[in-house]
């Protein structure tokens, strides 16, 4: 699968800004969409799918775990329900500020979640993620 678009979902504007810089530094010529809540991320997925804007549909979602309103876990639950109406299945990775074994255990039981990485996102991490999940 080719990587054309990344959706960043984090309630912290600065984190989204810094994650975009890391992605840009990795010299990835891709579209990066930033959303500041799980609800906004889900809405973006649905609206993009309904509008048939496939070039804007994410191939990769980097999702914060702890957010107000819907958290990352609830996003995954909602995504799973929404999935049949989507044009493709993006790789979903959670980002956490904490190296919590309970997070990794919980993640292992969710088929729509491909993994958890520790924040802050680094160029090394993005350079590990890309070849693991995408054609380079």
Q: What are phi and psi of 3, to 5 degrees?
A: -100, 115
Q: What are phi and psi of 34, to 5 degrees?
A: -115, 130
Instruction: Provide the 3-class DSSP secondary structure of residue 44.
Output: helix
Interval 18-70: pLDDT, tens: 999 999 998 778 999 999 999 999 999 999 999 998 889 999 999 999 999 99
Query: Is pTM beyond 0.85 here?
Result: yes
Topology (CATH level 3) of domain 5-133: Rossmann fold (3.40.50)
For the chain, give every domain's residue range.
5-133
The DSSP symbol for 63 reads E
Helices vs strands, H then E, count in the chain: 5, 5
Interval 93-133: pLDDT, tens: 999 988 888 888 888 889 999 999 999 999 999 999 999 99
CA 66, 67, 70, 75 torsion-angle sign: negative
Q: How many CB atoms lie within 10 A of CB 124?
A: 10
């Amino acid at each position: 699968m080719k990587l054309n678009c990344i959706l960043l979902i984090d309630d912290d504007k600065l984190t989204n800004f810094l994650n975009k810089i890391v992605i840009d530094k990795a010299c990835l010529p891709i579209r990066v969409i930033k959303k500041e809540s799980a609800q906004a991320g889900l809405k973006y997925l649905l609206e993009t799918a309904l509008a048939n804007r496939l070039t804007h549909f994410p191939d990769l979602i980097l999702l914060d775990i702890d957010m107000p309103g819907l958290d990352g876990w609830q996003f995954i639950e909602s995504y799973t329900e929404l999935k049949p109406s989507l044009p493709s299945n993006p790789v979903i990775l959670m980002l956490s500020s904490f190296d919590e074994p309970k997070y990794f255990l919980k993640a292992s039981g969710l088929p729509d979640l491909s993994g958890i990485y520790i924040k802050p996102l680094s160029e090394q991490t993005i350079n590990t993620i890309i070849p693991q999940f995408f054609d380079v």
